[in-house]
Structure 1
Amino acid sequence: MRRINYWLASFVVGSLLVFSSCSDDDPMDPPMMEDDSFYATMLGGTTLVPDPDNPGQQIQQGFLNLRTVVTNTVLTIATNEGGVYDDLLPYFSVLLNEVARDDFSGFAQLVDDFTIFLAEATGGPFTYTGLDMEAAHDPQRNPRMDGLINNADYDLFIQAVVEGAAQAGITSSDVIGPVGELLESVREPIVQRADDEMLDLYTRLGGSGLIDDPENPGQLIEAGFVPLRAVVTETVLLIASNPEGKYTDLLPYFSVLLAEVGAGDTSGFATLVQDFSEFLAEAIGSVNIQYTGLDMVAAHDPEQNPRMTGLVNAADYDLFVAAIVEAAKGLEVPESVIGEFGGLLNSPGLRDAVIQR
């Protein structure tokens, strides 16, 4: 027993000696590191202040300042006073149409994600867990993104950030400069469209943002799909009505459809409009809408498509394109857009597939 107590006493005494020798000013202690990050020194750091958006809660001053700038930026683009940010609106089609339906969940998520990204990048105690910048700005990987950004539009976005900061009272070059450098550092993964390449047509027509379907109350439809469906519908009706007999040569190809409609059955008409609209949507850049019907060769071959009653020749195909142009003009589609559709319809791949006589 004495031996055990001896060793126990030795251990306790030794421990006391060790701990008593480690005073606060021990030169072996690592010095307290001062947070000299941009987040701490220029944005307000981790000091807690009341959160103006969430009564009763507190928020880090640095995060609040960044969130205010981000919120102002998005609102500046959305309100688009004087049309300054017209070129940025297509990218925000999903978000803007949500807000129009009083759904602010996407807005809140965007503000939170971008704020966390900036907070981490400036040295704040946050970890951004969203998509990397390349994926976040690629519609194929981010369904909330419409269109690929070019340098000019990214410059315009940075301009909106600067304006958003000014609205928050942040105008010092000591703050704006480094934030601008940060945004420049991620330009390469964000900008994914060449300066001489146009934004895809589907995005320019409205993109994938959901709106109320004018033909189906209570349902939502992608904004970019609506004008396509309208032109296709008007085209079929124009051929069927055959004003002044100008489309007489096309009527035989639609004999099955016209007979159905004459008997009060519009199901085939609805299917044709939907299929052709989906084909066009996918062809001009839609990510979510995919054409799943027959390929163009099979669709225009009576042997493979019982709804087709003859093989199309070049003259009749040109007449069909003319009907689309007339329908589009009647709906006041811009000439530039009509020209792009003409280029698609007369592309060798499509034209050669349809013309089989």
Structure 2
Amino acid sequence: MIPVNSLQRHIQPLADRLATASRAVIDSGYFVLGPHVQRFEQAFAAYCGVRHVMGVGNGTDALELSLRALEIGPGDRVAVVANAAMYGTTAILACGGTPVFVDIDPATHTMCPKALASVLATGPIKAVIVTHLYGRLADMASLLPLCRKHGILVVEDCAQAHGARDISGTRAGAFGDIASFSFYPTKNLGALGDGGAVATSNDAFAERTRQLRQYGWSAKYVNELAGGRNSRLDEMQAALLLELLPELDGWNERRREIANRYSREIRSEALALPPACGGEHVAHLYVVRCKDRDSTREQLASMGVQTDLHYPIPDYLQPSVQGKADASPLPCTEADARSVLTLPCFPELTDFEVSTVIDACNRL
């Protein structure tokens, strides 16, 4: 079976380097917020093109702390898409805010600027979480001016888009007021455990995030900010990420190469494919649409191709959200939930495996 992803294949070639980095942490005697975290924060900030990066415990904490750094709290309405597995919605609810769901552009799976404009006409919005889904940058050229016009803060959710860049070279995480990243092992830049980061060029937001990730302290045992967390990227994960970061652009290029082969060579009428991509897309996932998803999955499995679903339930239909948000139906979001299907796409796929996936799809 050709897998959707294989972490063993991804990490094994780097095993000796990672073991050496792990030993350096063990020998250092520093395990939390030490020199490796500082070095990684500096390196990742330079990579993203921002002034500050703060390592945190995971990507969902990064989203929540981003919102708290912007002082999102009870009663604040925050716009967000509903097709990204609840992470943004979870962070909004954790802050006491109210999610206001925005439909997607069916061409990109990301927030539709026209849909956002319609939502803004319904009442005040304090912030917008813009999710760069599946590795593709959202339409920041349209979304940012719209938010600026209305004085709305912009949080980028970059959990699936490490390294994605627009035509000017601006990378994911450097467009909005603040950004969140996940380093979950399956991400384009993944740790060997949980991890996340908040990125910003705003000095005040950075300082608030540094306090919030460690109990809200302004000094040791002085809890100045409400809503603080124990959420810190540990030294071990930071040391490993320092080894992996230089490989990221090469991995992204291989992902794009695979995605573009799929888009060029899959010709099955049973599948609707995304367009070929450039630097704006780092192909975290290769997601197609199909009319009869269950049957398509069964057929591909019978031909040795594993698939997955990202994501089958809109946030506003999740049991935990009932009664906590506007549940107005979003037609494009719901169409995605019924039809999306993920094909194998990770850097270590061989050319033969890619050809096998293409052949299987063309036999549908």
The TM-score normalised by the length of structure 1 is 0.20
Higher helix share: 1
| Higher CA-based Rg | 1
Whichever structure has more strand as a proportion of its residues is 2
